[in-house]
A and B are shown apart, each in its own frame.
Chain A
Amino acid sequence: MDSTAHAFKDNAHKALGDDQLQEALGNLRHGFTQRRAQARDQLPEFDALRDAARDIKNHTLAHLDLYLERYESKVSEQGGKVHWCATAEDARRTILDICRSVDAKLVTKGKSMVAEEIGLNDYLEANGVTPAETDLGEYIIQLRNEPPSHIIAPAVHLTKAQVEADFRKNHSELPPERSLVEPEALVQEARTMLRQKYLDADVGITGANFLIAETGSSIIVTNEGNGDLTQCLPKVHIVIASLEKVVPTLEDVSIILRVLARSGTGQEFTAYTTFSTGPKREGDLDGPDEYHVVLLDNGRSAMLGSEYQDVLRCIRCGACMNHCPVYHAVGGHAYGWVYPGPIGAVLTPSLIGVEEAGHLPNASTFCGRCEAVCPMRIPLPKMMRHWREKEFERNLTPTAARSGLKLWAFFAKRPALYAMLNRFNARLLRALGGRKGSLRSLPLASGWTDHRDFPAPQGKSFQELWAKRQNGSGATPRTPGA
């Protein structure tokens, strides 16, 4: 996918003035946050599970080469094949070669962020293979020729009215007088349109939330069942996954699955969690004849052992963006590449370079909410700071932001002072924000608030509110990221 990450400021500026986008984002600001808090409160062991999940991934990353070798040998034992791909280009070509080997015309696709990362759809299309996205959100944005704006809710930037208009435009074979007032009608229409594609497809491509070294399995976690129809009906199933998806055992993945949906959608468990291992077996009456795993590096191996290694623990749950005030304000497209929000601000410079994506780590208020909710306890703000420091050293930062950064670094190194200032700022900003409840310039950070309207904090600072909420709910007091 082509990046516009370098233009973050312009993108953000446009996003703030886009009324439809702002309306759509309104739904996001509360729904996900409330549901996650509920799911968390219903499971007393939630934080212990987060610690365990973090430890599992840390252990795996420290032995990644060995687990990948074990994983590969299990896949082969079960009749599947692993294709190692160092770059996006290698992965695209490998997938096209598999498609060509069975003369595929139509491929169905389950949702995969790695497929977005390598720009798979455009490539297949240019080479005579038609990709059909089957996740409802992905289907909608494919009709609109747009990238996803959220890692678990790709069409979250759209209103129902926009989806209805897109369906009317694209499903021109259906009677124009049909009613699409009820959202159920839109779901039913998409279901009908995609049904035939599942049955006609020659190849099904899915991503993987996890790979299991113990069994050689790939796992997808979905709510719609589209990924399952994508992988059980065609003759060939291709899984595209990046290196860091591997975990050791079925027990280990059980732990991580407990925090994944709760953090993301706020569900206790998603509707479908599917373990796929090799092609269909003797006697099976359905399932694919071939099972391929395209295993992608694309920069991950270089992140190991660096100050960004921890980000490889990410399970792409979306919690960090669901709780990010910057994401709430500008949506996902402003980030300009595949991964938006705090995870994108850290990951994107690693994957496509600080020259292109150096602005993204500035897209933060350093409020710490992302780290506080991340199920894998990834220190996202700290990593954004690393990038900012790097960018500063490289002299890529505009002068105005540079002095802001200097100031900011001064406070950041003095936590007590910073906390005090934060509290002070909340009050000051509220006063500055006036009745409108939003402001256009933020003391200490004018280099980037010049370009966006920042919601004025209501009441106490996040840290204060957070501490209060923790106490109020009877849980152990906890500071963000502790």
Chain B
Amino acid sequence: MSARDQILGAVRRSLKRAAGDGAEETVSARLAEHPRGPVPARAQLPHKEQVALFQEQAEAVQTTVDRLADLSEVPKAVSAYLSSQNLPQSLRVAPDGRLGALPWQAEAPLLEVSTGPARSDDATSLTPVFAAVAETGTLMLRSGPESPVTLNFLPETHIAVVFASQIVGSYEDAWQRFREAGNDSRLPRTVNFITGPSRTGDIEQTILFGAHGPKRLHLLLIDDVP
């Protein structure tokens, strides 16, 4: 008998469930309908308040947020942020159409911009996000050719572009967007929920940043909702 049959057989014997008891249907229905449980009231707000809550929650976990009126302001904002933190003017940008098409040369001539997955010596990355969750100030990123995962973890500084229209209330709302975007239950290789920069409490419970992932997480929040 295969290990698989042996283990499943042992589980069935322990559960003492009879065949034809409707369990199959129960399971199929739950997977197909994926019902929601209780969603915190704090996540169920008008959109404007969700945006404010998102920013507040993100800042509470040491994410920094810069609000911009328009996407075209991103190159200038990146360059200014790097100067303010005394970081090198060098940026690894995700191969995302909208980010690639920005007027980097014209608006941030000092910034050295390259595109692709992160290399071990890239200091700062710029990525898109798929959604952002207000309840805990969380970003949701999905891997794909336009959003390599290494950009979220290798560089010491991660900058992400978030549109206000991408902000939802709860994790469930984010998954709903994901399903509605035609993904249904098919996930890409990686979905990252990111809430603040990398941290550790492993030395005497003191919280320290940049344990392995980014030391800084900076958001450029575009106010695209009138």
Contact = CB atoms under 8 A, between A and B. Distances in A.
B194 A286 contact: no
Interface residues of B, number: 78
Contacts of A155: 202-203
Given A223-B199, A285-B116, A228 B153 contact: yes
B171 interface: yes
Contacts of B150: 232-233, 286
B205 A153 contact: yes
A176 to B, nearest CB: 21
B57 to A, nearest CB: 7
A216 to B, nearest CB: 8
B199 A224 contact: yes
A85 interface: yes
Contact of B40 (A45, A188, A250): A45
A276 to B, nearest CB: 6
A425 interface: no
Given A135-B202, A232-B150, A274-B192, A86 B3 contact: yes
Interface residues of A, number: 103
Interface stretch (A11-19, A301-309, A338-346, A434-442): A301-309
Interface string B51-62: 000000100110
A396 interface: no
Nearest to A275: B191
B75 interface: no
Nearest to A186: B203
B40 A272 contact: no
A31 B205 contact: yes
Interface stretch (A62-70, A413-421, A467-475): A62-70
Interface string B124-151: 0000000000001010000111001110
A432 interface: no
B99 to A, nearest CB: 15
A67 B191 CA distance: 22
Contact of B7 (A86, A195, A213): A86
Contact of B152 (A140, A228, A277, A281): A228
A313 to B, nearest CB: 15
Interface of A: 24, 27-28, 31-32, 43-45, 48-49, 52, 56, 59, 62-70, 72, 74, 78, 84-86, 90, 134-137, 140, 153-156, 159-160, 163, 183-184, 186-188, 190-191, 194-195, 199, 213-217, 223-226, 228-229, 232-233, 243, 248-252, 254-255, 257-258, 265, 267-281, 283-287, 295, 297, 301-306
Q: Which 9 A-B pairs have the closest CB atoms?
A: A225-B213, A224-B211, A304-B14, A301-B10, A137-B202, A249-B34, A305-B14, A273-B193, A283-B145
8 contacts: A183-B208, A214-B34, A226-B212, A248-B34, A250-B185, A275-B190, A276-B189, A276-B190
